[in-house]
Amino acid sequence: MSATALRPRKVDRPPIRGTIDHSAAVTEDAGLTLALRLAAFVGLYAFAAGHWIAMLTDPPAARLWVTVLIVTLGAGVLALSGHWRLGPAAAAFARFGVIAAMLIASAVAMGIEPRLLLPGGWGDLAAGIDRGINGSVIALWPYDGPDPWVRQVVALLPVIVGVACAAMAFWPGEWLARPGRVGALVALVALYTAAAAERDFGSQGARGLLLLALIAAWLWLPRMRGREAAVAASIVAAAGVLA
């Protein structure tokens, strides 16, 4: 008997039904986690920034919501940049570009003239910001004075805080994940606290409970799954925007 006859025959087995594509499941889970993190960010950022700009009479609410949208989109791009096929240096350069684009677009959305963001306008921009800061030191809140730069400086602070928090909380990499999220949480809570210390918004107890709910969502919402996660994310985002 030949060796060929003794060799076991290869049997083509049909694919097993019901097998799970683990790579697809992991990708879907990561996408859901990112969506929940963004929902928590929108809720807390809109809540804090909305109270801050309420320190102005006739606050630029529409401009703020555009800013929240820009910063949230930028945060999502930053988080997804972890999947870009770039070297470490190129990836870091691209991420800083995203942060710069967020800052510029948000500043324009909040009323800064684009010409002031060009090198030729930096002198006027610095002088205006200095004037606004000095004026805000002696201002009464809510501010209804005539100096446009005081209003502009107040409106710009949520831009700076929001972009910084997006960078801290959504920069990819395990080394920054926990401290970045904690730092962003502290900064957003501080923004609300500073506004509440300067102006009485009323219903402080209810606002405090809502703040605690938004903090809890920031900490635990990304761990939720299923229909409960979708419902909770919608409630958190809506609560922050409507508060």
Long-range contacts, stretch 151-155, CB < 8 angstroms, 24+ apart? 151/56, 152/110, 152/111, 152/112, 152/128, 153/129, 154/52, 154/53, 154/55, 154/56, 155/53, 155/56, 155/60, 155/63, 155/64, 155/110, 155/111
Q: 10 Å Cβ neighbour count for 153?
A: 20
Find the mean pLDDT for residues 15-34.
Answer: 55
Mean pLDDT, the chain, whole residue set: 81
What was the pLDDT predicted at 212?
86
- Confidence bin at 6 (pLDDT 50/70/90): low
Q: Please count the CA atoms within 13 angstroms of the CA of 219 that sit on its side-chain side.
A: 8
Find the mean pLDDT for residues 146-174.
Answer: 91
Find the mean pLDDT for residues 78-88.
Answer: 85
Question: Which one is predicted more confidently, 226 or 130?
Answer: 130
Helices 174-198, 22-53: crossing angle, 10 deg rounding? 20
User: Nearest to residue 187, comparing CAs of 209, 170, 165?
Assistant: 165
Span 198-226, pLDDT tens digits: 877 777 777 888 888 888 888 876 665 55
Q: Which DSSP string do the residues of 31-86 spell out, in sequence order?
A: HHHHHHHHHHHHHHHHHHHHHHHTTBSS--HHHHHHHHHHHHHHHHHHHHGGG---
Span 28-53, pLDDT tens digits: 566 777 888 888 899 999 999 999 99
Q: Please count the CA atoms within 13 angstroms of the CA of 148 that sit on its side-chain side.
A: 7
Which are the contacts of 171, defined by CB distance < 8 A and separation ≥ 6? Answer: 78, 95, 180
Which sign, positive or negative, has the C-alpha torsion 26, 174, 73, 229? positive
Single-letter amino acid, residue 225: R
